[in-house]
């Protein structure tokens, strides 16, 4: 990515021009129906790496607003855990503590990979406890993740004061993909490997959902990237709904995949 594109990505919503670089944005089709069909409010943001260009559907400037990251924070949590050595690798097992939780898949032993795939809160909460708040804060500051605020109830990414915007999510994903975060190459490659969701001859889809029900309204996420035809498309979808009984992470992914199909990035379901 050239320097101009990188500057405009970081400063997506800044009206300032830097060295003549403006943040290009392709006028987006009206994606409102994807959100209306699910009775949620939300926004979609995509960055096309080859074109250094954004496609955005951001009612009320939502893409620049910060929201609780929920389980999308696991992408950073996993890297900090590997880098600090509180877990050896993606295969190390942490035994289940025997506490029955509402999601059956959580009630068993897990490793970094299976806990990411099943979004196991207790596993990543245990990693955060092993890391400890001081080291966690150090790495969050080093990365520049969202508002950098890990205060509040535990786990802070689900119930505390940490907040991040869609634009910041995309910049974080870009740095992860390009291995430009302050972690070892092996750490970043491991996390990229465990967030791979689909792989076909035509494309690779990587990402993570999130759902926070401790805030009002509930917040849902799906963030990630698609590798296709030697290009990378980074995306972040954020939604909210009051009192949803269905996972907003799941809804966010369904909305995202519908939009990506309309854009010709993913196949039509």
CA–CA dist 50, 164 (Å, integer)? 25
Q: Which of 19, 32, 71, 151 is labelled catalytic? A: 71
Catalytic annotation present for 214 = no
Of 77, 86, 105, 27, the closest CA to residue 195 belongs to 77
Q: Which of 77, 21, 19, 94 is nearest to 53 (CA)?
A: 21
Assign residue 204 a region (left: φ > 0; alpha: ψ between -120 and 50; beta: otherwise). beta
Where does residue 197 rank: exposed (0-12), middle (13-18), buried (19+ CB within 10 A)? middle
Task: Give the sign of the dihedral formed by CA 78, CA 83, CA 89, CA 94.
Answer: negative
Q: Are 249 and 220 in contact (CB under 8 A)?
A: yes
Identify whether the C-beta of residue 76 lies closer than 8 Å to the C-beta of residue 169.
no
Residues involved in catalysis: 71
């Amino acid at each position: 990515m050239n320097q101009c594109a990188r500057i405009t990505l970081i400063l997506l919503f800044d009206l300032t021009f830097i060295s003549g670089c403006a943040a290009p944005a392709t006028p987006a089709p009206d994606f409102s129906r994807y959100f209306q069909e699910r009775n949620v409010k939300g926004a979609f943001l995509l960055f096309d790496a080859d074109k250094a260009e954004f496609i955005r559907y951001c009612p009320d400037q939502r893409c620049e607003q910060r929201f609780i990251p929920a389980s999308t924070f696991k992408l950073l949590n996993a890297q900090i855990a590997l880098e600090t050595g509180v877990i050896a690798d993606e295969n190390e097992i942490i035994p289940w503590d025997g506490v029955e939780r509402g999601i059956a898949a959580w009630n068993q032993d897990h490793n970094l990979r299976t806990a990411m795939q099943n979004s196991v809160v207790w596993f990543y909460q245990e990693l955060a406890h092993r890391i400890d708040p001081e080291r966690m804060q150090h790495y969050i500051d080093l990365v520049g993740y969202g508002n950098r605020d890990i205060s509040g109830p535990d786990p802070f990414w689900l119930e505390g004061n940490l907040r991040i915007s869609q634009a910041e999510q995309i910049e974080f994903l870009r740095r992860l993909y390009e291995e430009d975060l302050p972690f070892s190459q092996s750490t970043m490659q491991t996390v990229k490997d465990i967030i791979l969701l689909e792989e076909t001859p035509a494309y690779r889809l990587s990402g993570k959902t999130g759902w926070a029900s401790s805030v009002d309204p509930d917040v849902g996420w799906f963030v990630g990237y698609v590798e296709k035809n030697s290009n990378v498309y980074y995306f972040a979808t954020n939604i909210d709904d009051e009192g949803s009984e269905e996972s907003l992470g799941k809804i966010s992914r369904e909305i995202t995949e519908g939009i990506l199909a309309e854009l010709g990035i993913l196949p039509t379901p």
